[in-house]
């Protein structure tokens, strides 16, 4: 029989098999020699009073086989099936394509950017020569913003849907099994390319289609229904079903939809700055020890505060990560944060954002649908100018920024 129970371990204990076996034997009353193996099925850190790991363990005695944590997916041959046209090969577009395949439908994906294999050269040119390719960058290209995202896989939202299946799919396509058990799963930017390539290959193997350098530029409507798409300004394709998965960065899509007569409505969003700290500082605050040592991961934090009736909060905190240029349009600056799977950079960074409402930026456009987009663009352009007119983000101390004092450099 497989036994399952919760345990609390000091970091050095958890990584010492003999100490874990002793604790398991004591707590479950099973003699150590009868335990054939154990595995962690849930893991989180509690650093409130001394640092401890809370883990749920499954314990096998002789002859027991652990139940499979992996998902079981039915990918059909959809080469001759009814089609669904999907715009955007980001996480939303690719997961929609996989869902189509599992439901017996053929996905046809159009992506404005390049495959992950080609995209990396444009990212290199942006990082080293500050040359932006507006169609292939940190936000556009196979995997969307997701490919160069940090790959943190948890959410504070209550509308979570079937998170387990998403994690199982990511594991199926190459993420470590750890993501199925960690309370705060993380993949890391360095691992996401291969996962995206594997998803694409599955779509193609099942008879779906993925087209790169293929930007949606118009819709074909008949009786108020979408009947076709226009790609790259000239190529027209009929479609019965259309999924728009163009993400947050493609501002042009809203202007196109508006010109095609599609009903749109403005909404609030959050905006802010990236703050960067030495990782050792965050470790010492969170773990309350001078050094985090070899058993603890780079520490993270989460801040939420109400200021004058508005939410101000940390967002997308990246322990052991770096800040990157996530712009898609020339003469703007946009920053975001990412980290590799080892989270071993000496810096931590985090978005500190404030909730904005449509009335805050109503004056930025005569058409209220676009005022938020225009406001965003105005700030991004100002950041570019203050950065000296190069793809270099202006920087200053956070306290100075909050107080409106000091200089940006």
Residues that bind ligand FAD (CB under 6 A): 87-93, 110-113, 138-141, 144-146, 148-152, 215-216, 245-250, 253, 316, 324, 326, 336-338
Q: How far is the CB of 108 from ligand FAD (least distance, A)?
A: 12
Q: How far is the CB of 338 from ligand FAD (least distance, A)?
A: 4
Q: How far is the CB of 10 from ligand FAD (least distance, A)?
A: 29
CA separation for the pair 250, 140 (Å, rounded): 8
Of the pair 11, 144, the CB lying nearest ligand FAD is at: 144
CA dihedral sign, ordered 327, 331, 333, 334 = negative
Of the pair 43, 215, the CB lying nearest ligand FAD is at: 215
Tokens representing residue 128 in the block: 């080293």
Of the pair 11, 247, the CB lying nearest ligand FAD is at: 247
- Strand runs labelled E in 32-148: 35-46, 52-61, 83-87, 106-110
Calculate the CA dihedral of residues 290, 291, 293, 295 and round it to 10 degrees.
70
Q: How far is the CB of 30 from ligand FAD (least distance, A)?
A: 39
Of the pair 55, 87, the CB lying nearest ligand FAD is at: 87
Burial 345-367 (b: 16+ CB within 10 A, else e): bebbbbbbbbbbebebbeebeee
Q: How far is the CB of 222 from ligand FAD (least distance, A)?
A: 21
Q: How far is the CB of 98 from ligand FAD (least distance, A)?
A: 13
CA separation for the pair 395, 167 (Å, rounded): 36
Beta-strand relationship, 225-231 and 235-238: antiparallel
> Residue 342, CB half-sphere, CA atoms under 13 Å: how many?
4
CA separation for the pair 232, 131 (Å, rounded): 22
CA separation for the pair 49, 47 (Å, rounded): 6
Of the pair 53, 140, the CB lying nearest ligand FAD is at: 140
Of the pair 246, 279, the CB lying nearest ligand FAD is at: 246
Tokens representing residue 370 in the block: 């676009």
Q: How far is the CB of 229 from ligand FAD (least distance, A)?
A: 9
Burial class (CB within 10 angstroms; exposed 0-12, middle 13-18, buried 19+) of 186: buried
Q: Which of 373, 344, 343, 349 is nearest to 361 (CA)?
A: 373
CA separation for the pair 182, 6 (Å, rounded): 14
Of the pair 7, 276, the CB lying nearest ligand FAD is at: 276
Of the pair 11, 146, the CB lying nearest ligand FAD is at: 146
Q: How far is the CB of 145 from ligand FAD (least distance, A)?
A: 4
CA separation for the pair 149, 87 (Å, rounded): 20
């Amino acid at each position: 029989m497989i036994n399952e129970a919760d345990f609390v371990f000091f970091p050095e204990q958890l990584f010492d098999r003999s100490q874990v076996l002793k604790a398991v034997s004591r707590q479950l009353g099973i003699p150590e020699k009868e335990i054939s193996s154990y595995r962690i099925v849930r893991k989180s850190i509690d650093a409130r009073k001394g640092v401890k790991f809370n883990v749920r363990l499954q314990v096998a005695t002789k002859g027991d086989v652990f139940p499979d944590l992996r998902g079981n997916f039915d990918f059909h041959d959809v080469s001759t099936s009814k089609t669904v046209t999907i715009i955007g090969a980001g996480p939303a577009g690719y997961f929609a394509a996989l869902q189509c395949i599992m439901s017996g439908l053929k996905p046809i994906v159009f992506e404005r950017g390049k495959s992950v294999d080609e995209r990396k050269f444009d990212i290199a040119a942006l990082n080293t020569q500050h040359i932006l390719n507006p169609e292939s960058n940190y936000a556009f290209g196979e995997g969307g913003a997701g490919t160069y995202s940090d790959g943190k896989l948890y959410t504070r939202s209550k509308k979570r849907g079937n998170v387990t299946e998403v994690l199982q799919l990511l594991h199926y396509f190459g993420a470590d099994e750890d993501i199925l058990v960690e309370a705060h799963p993380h993949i890391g930017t360095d691992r996401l390319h291969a996962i995206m390539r594997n998803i694409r290959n599955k779509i193609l193997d099942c008879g779906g289609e993925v087209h790169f350098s293929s930007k949606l530029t118009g819709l074909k409507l008949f009786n108020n229904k979408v009947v076709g798409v226009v790609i790259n300004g000239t190529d027209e394709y009929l479609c019965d079903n259309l999924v728009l998965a163009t993400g947050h960065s493609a501002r042009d899509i809203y202007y196109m939809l508006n010109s095609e007569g599609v009903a749109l409505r403005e909404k609030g969003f959050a905006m802010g700055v990236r703050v960067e700290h030495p990782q050792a500082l965050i470790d010492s605050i969170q773990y309350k020890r001078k050094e985090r040592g070899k058993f603890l991961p780079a520490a993270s934090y989460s801040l939420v505060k109400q200021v004058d009736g508005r939410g101000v909060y940390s967002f997308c905190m990246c322990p052991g990560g770096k800040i990157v240029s996530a712009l898609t349009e020339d003469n703007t600056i946009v920053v975001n944060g990412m980290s590799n799977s080892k989270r071993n950079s000496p810096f931590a960074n985090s978005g500190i954002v404030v909730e904005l409402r449509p009335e805050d930026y109503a004056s930025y456009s005569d058409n209220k649908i676009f005022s938020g987009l225009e406001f965003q663009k105005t700030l991004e352009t100002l950041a570019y100018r203050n950065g000296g007119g190069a793809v270099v983000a202006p920087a200053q101390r956070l306290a100075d920024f909050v107080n409106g004092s000091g200089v940006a450099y």
